[in-house]
């Protein structure tokens, strides 16, 4: 029996719609839209241009790191050190520029620092078989301590001859009035999305997360890929640290404290599965956006900010429950 062109198109449309409706990232995006509509009606200040600008700018730091964290989670790993890596990279940048070096040198040193930390984590995990939780938990403490040593636990707010350039890098709006951090976030999301969907490296990540043993048997270079993924996770934290330094105009040793939990939450809420094999760049963005909308809405609605953790934790549990239900349906 032959299949007509119309039937083929209808089948493709049905498959696309079914995939969309099964996507956790899609439903999180719907939740964001509903929340924004409610807040627009319930408050006078949510839909103002200033508040929208603040939301889009604030979400970028969590989202940028969540892109790297998503790749780690896809291969079945975890990285608890990203908040401390952000702090260390920021401090290395600040101290280097404060010593009189230019912006380019400061950024280079910060990037190399983050990549070195990621490589260290990756080698211990991939080649020595250390648990990712233990390695990155240890690095969380090490990186924070190194940031304190580098600055003698002081605030750095003078960045040498390129002080103004750094502030413009993180706090400017070079294109159509859009905050620079948002532009960086979008660019990085497009790169990560392309890598995950269209490259062999991306397919290998899903293969490792789906079944690491089977991936090894099929010739996937599992260990080198794991090292690269942890380097990319640390790099994303380093980039976020560089941008945030320019935005804040100062660096303290408590920068990024607790951020690893928000980043993991963003990835999981966006659809990344902690058992590996599932996740995407879009999910990282919408997960981070939902967290920021929750944080922003609490103040506007007059709710104590201490409830933020409760709401975010509830979102994580709901996201995991959603994934569990989807797994049970697929196994039937």
Nearest to 126 by CA among 113, 136, 140: 136
Residue 305, token pair as written in the block: 């900010």
Residue 172's H or E segment, with its range, is: none
**Angle at which helices 103-126 and 222-248 pack, to 10 degrees?**
150
- What are the structural domains of the chain? 27-32+53-324 (1.10.3470)
Is the separation of the CB atoms in 205 and 74 below 8 Å?
A: yes
Q: What pLDDT does residue 2 have?
A: 47
**Angle at which helices 180-198 and 200-210 pack, to 10 degrees?**
70
Going by pLDDT thresholds of 50, 70 and 90, the confidence category of residue 299 is confident
Higher local confidence (pLDDT), 313 or 201: 201
- Give the tens place of pLDDT for each residue, 217-261: 999 999 999 999 999 999 999 999 999 999 999 999 999 998 998
The model carries a pTM of: 0.91
Distance between CA 212 and CA 78 in Å, rounded?
15
Look at phi and psi of residue 160 and say left if phi exceeds 0, alpha if psi is from -120 to 50, else beta: left
Q: What pLDDT does residue 16 have?
A: 66
Q: What pLDDT does residue 22 have?
A: 73
125-139, 228-242, 289-303, 308-322: least confidently modelled range: 308-322
Averaged pLDDT of the chain = 89
Q: Check pLDDT > 50 for residue 5.
A: no
Q: What pLDDT does residue 331 have?
A: 60
> Across the strands, what pairs with 178?
175
Percent of the chain clearing pLDDT 90 (strictly above): 64
Residue 73, token pair as written in the block: 């989670």
Distance between CA 181 and CA 260 in Å, rounded?
19
Q: Check pLDDT > 60 for residue 4.
A: no
Contacts of 299 (CB under 8 A, 6+ apart): 305
101-110, 172-181, 228-237: least confidently modelled range: 172-181
């Amino acid at each position: 029996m032959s299949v007509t062109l119309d039937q083929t198109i209808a089948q493709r449309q049905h498959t696309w719609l079914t995939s969309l409706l099964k996507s956790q990232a899609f439903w999180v995006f719907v939740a964001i839209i509903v929340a924004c509509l409610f807040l627009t009606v319930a408050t006078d200040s949510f839909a103002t241009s200033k508040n929208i600008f603040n939301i889009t700018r604030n979400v970028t730091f969590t989202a940028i790191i969540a892109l790297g964290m998503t790749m780690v989670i896809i291969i079945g790993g975890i990285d608890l050190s990203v908040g401390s890596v952000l702090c260390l990279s920021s401090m290395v940048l600040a101290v280097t520029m404060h010593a009189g070096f230019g912006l380019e040198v400061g950024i280079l040193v910060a990037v190399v620092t983050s990549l070195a930390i990621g490589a260290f984590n990756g080698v211990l995990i991939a080649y020595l078989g250390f648990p990712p939780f233990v390695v990155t938990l240890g690095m969380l403490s090490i990186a924070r301590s190194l940031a304190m040593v580098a600055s003698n636990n002081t605030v750095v707010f003078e960045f040498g001859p390129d002080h103004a350039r750094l502030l413009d890098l993180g706090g400017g709006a070079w294109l159509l009035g859009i905050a620079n951090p948002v532009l960086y976030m979008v660019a990085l999301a497009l790169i990560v999305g392309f890598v995950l969907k269209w490259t062999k490296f991306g397919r290998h990540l899903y293969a490792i997360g789906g079944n690491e043993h089977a991936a090894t048997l099929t010739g996937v270079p599992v260990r080198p890929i794991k090292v690269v993924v942890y380097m990319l996770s640390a790099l994303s934290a380093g980039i976020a640290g560089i941008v945030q330094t320019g935005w804040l105009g100062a660096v303290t040793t408590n920068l990024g404290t607790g951020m690893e939990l928000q980043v993991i939450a963003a990835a999981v809420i966006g659809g990344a599965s902690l058992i590996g094999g599932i996740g995407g760049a879009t999910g990282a963005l919408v997960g981070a956006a939902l967290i920021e909308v929750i944080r922003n809405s609490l103040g506007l609605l007059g709710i104590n900010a201490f409830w933020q953790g409760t709401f975010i934790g509830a979102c994580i549990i709901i996201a995991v429950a959603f994934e569990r239900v989807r797994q049970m349906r697929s196994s039937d």
